[in-house]
């Protein structure tokens, strides 16, 4: 659909009127209805003030649903908690604890396994039981344009759904800030996954936010998890500070790079490599196979010096981890693997590495701590965004800013003093109100 004809989120919700019917939307969401999920994400993306309260209520219900362990239908509706209730700190439910213990035991047993790097996936008839995750897993995927992120997500997503998992992809739309992004771009780049009944692909227009990461992506993750998706993949445009924002909303951050000569590696940002828990060298096939191997060696050397890995230390959360013999030895150090997304080679080892990371996070008591710290960071980021938006929409402040800008441009006033005057004026006006 041409950009000029594409409806904005507010327009798509206009038929709801001022009062959005939240209960039917929530009930559809927890029944795993993809149409309800699409409407729910559209609601939280809406910039219309009349949708804000409904969005807040829906998100509160989604969070409460997850804290209860995923009740569905009428039982979920009957068990709703008042929105002003302070949520308890997360501890795994009994069934989750059992699943976590089984997952950790499997990772302990898999230590010392033979590398599967650049091997084709195990045929369907030779696979064991479907994969079961104790909790949702949030994976951030970044990389420069042309590295093959969408192709890899398509291959990896199909690999996951073929093994019984439900996958949601929140692809930050790779388009200009003027248009806000194309609606169909990401789905056309993931044709098989976007049509699969256990997958959901959602372009997330950037609309000019920092680094192309949509403000409401973190809210969309909450809704996807409430809708029963086991793995949520967040793809970013791979420019500027978007990686930092994505790393603060996912459990594991994956950097995808294309085969490159040594000089090209020098141009890759040190900070992005340091954030990465797993680095994948894509397009490791055909004429690029040797270059990919060399690139892998270069990044492995770089990690030794940089000490890469964006995992934050956790403390005091070992109580959430079931006792599993040998799990205390589960450790993680960032890895560099070669894959071929186009030929679907190396996907098994990619998943094994992600599973090792996930298990190590739980075994070391970091998984819950990291998510809690992320939520605090996002609260303060969004407070800053909201205050900036309110300042920009205040007529009195707008006139003052117009007057002060000239003084700042001419050098008769410092930017810091001007900023203080703007904020003081805004606060004084609201105190009088």
Please write down the long-range contacts of 121-127, taking CB distance under 8 Å and 24 or more positions apart.
Answer: 121/159, 121/344, 121/347, 121/348, 122/348, 124/162, 127/163
Query: Is 316 within 8 Å of 292 (Cβ atoms)?
Result: no
Q: Domain residues of the chain, as ranges? A: 3-78, 94-365, 394-432
Residue 418 buriedness (CB in 10 A; 0-12 / 13-18 / 19+): middle
The class level of CATH for 94-365 reads: alpha beta
What is the pTM assigned to this prediction?
Answer: 0.81
Please list the pLDDT of the chain residue by residue as tens digits (433 residues).
Answer: 443 333 444 444 444 444 678 999 999 999 999 999 999 999 988 878 888 899 999 999 999 888 776 644 333 443 444 444 444 444 555 567 777 777 777 777 777 666 666 777 776 556 666 788 888 999 999 888 888 998 999 999 999 999 999 999 998 654 544 444 444 455 677 889 999 999 999 976 655 555 345 568 889 999 999 999 999 999 886 655 677 888 889 999 999 999 975 555 555 566 778 888 999 999 999 999 999 999 999 888 888 777 644 444 343 333 444 555 555 556 778 889 999 999 999 999 999 999 989 988 888 888 888 999 999 988 888 888 888 888 888 888 888 999 999 999 999 999 999 999 999 998 888 776 5
């Amino acid at each position: 659909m041409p950009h000029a004809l594409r409806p904005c989120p507010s327009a798509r919700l206009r038929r709801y009127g001022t009062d959005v019917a939240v209960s039917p939307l929530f009930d559809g969401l927890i029944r795993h209805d993809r149409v309800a999920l699409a409407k729910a994400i559209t609601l939280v993306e809406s910039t219309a003030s009349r949708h804000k309260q409904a969005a807040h209520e829906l998100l509160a219900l989604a969070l409460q649903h997850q804290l209860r362990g995923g009740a569905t239908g009428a039982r979920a509706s009957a068990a709703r908690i008042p929105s002003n209730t302070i949520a308890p700190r997360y501890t795994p439910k009994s069934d989750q604890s059992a699943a976590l213990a089984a997952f950790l035991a499997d990772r302990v047993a898999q230590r010392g396994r033979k590398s599967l790097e650049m091997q084709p996936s195990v045929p369907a008839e030779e696979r064991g039981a479907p994969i079961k995750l104790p909790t949702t897993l949030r994976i951030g995927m970044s990389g420069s344009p042309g590295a093959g992120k969408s192709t890899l997500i398509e291959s990896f997503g199909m690999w996951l759904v073929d093994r019984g998992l439900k996958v949601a992809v929140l692809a930050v739309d790779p388009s200009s800030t003027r248009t806000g992004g194309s609606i169909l771009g990401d789905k056309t780049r993931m044709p098989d996954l976007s049509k699969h009944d256990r997958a959901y692909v959602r372009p997330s227009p950037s609309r000019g936010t920092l680094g192309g990461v949509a403000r409401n992506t973190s809210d969309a993750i909450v809704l996807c998890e409430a809708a029963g998706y086991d793995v949520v993949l967040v793809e970013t445009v791979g420019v500027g500070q978007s990686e930092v924002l994505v790393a603060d909303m996912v459990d594991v951050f994956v950097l995808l790079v294309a085969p490159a000569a040594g000089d090209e590696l020098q141009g890759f940002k040190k900070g992005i490599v340091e954030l990465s828990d797993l680095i994948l060298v894509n397009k490791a096939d055909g004429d690029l196979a040797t270059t990919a191997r060399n690139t892998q060696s270069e990044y492995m050397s770089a990690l030794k010096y940089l000490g890469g890995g964006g995992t934050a230390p956790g403390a005091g959360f070992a109580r959430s981890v079931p006792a599993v013999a040998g799990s205390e030895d589960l450790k993680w150090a960032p890895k560099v693997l070669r894959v071929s997304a186009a030929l679907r080679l190396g996907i098994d080892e990619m998943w094994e590495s992600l599973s090792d990371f996930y298990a190590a996070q739980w075994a070391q008591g970091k998984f819950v701590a990291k998510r809690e710290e992320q939520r605090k960071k996002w609260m303060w980021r969004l407070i800053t965004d909201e205050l900036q938006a309110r300042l920009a929409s205040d007529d009195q402040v707008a006139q003052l800013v117009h007057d002060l800008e000239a003084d700042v441009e001419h050098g008769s006033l410092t930017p810091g003093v001007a900023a203080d005057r703007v904020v003081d004026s805004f606060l004084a006006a609201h105190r009088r109100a």
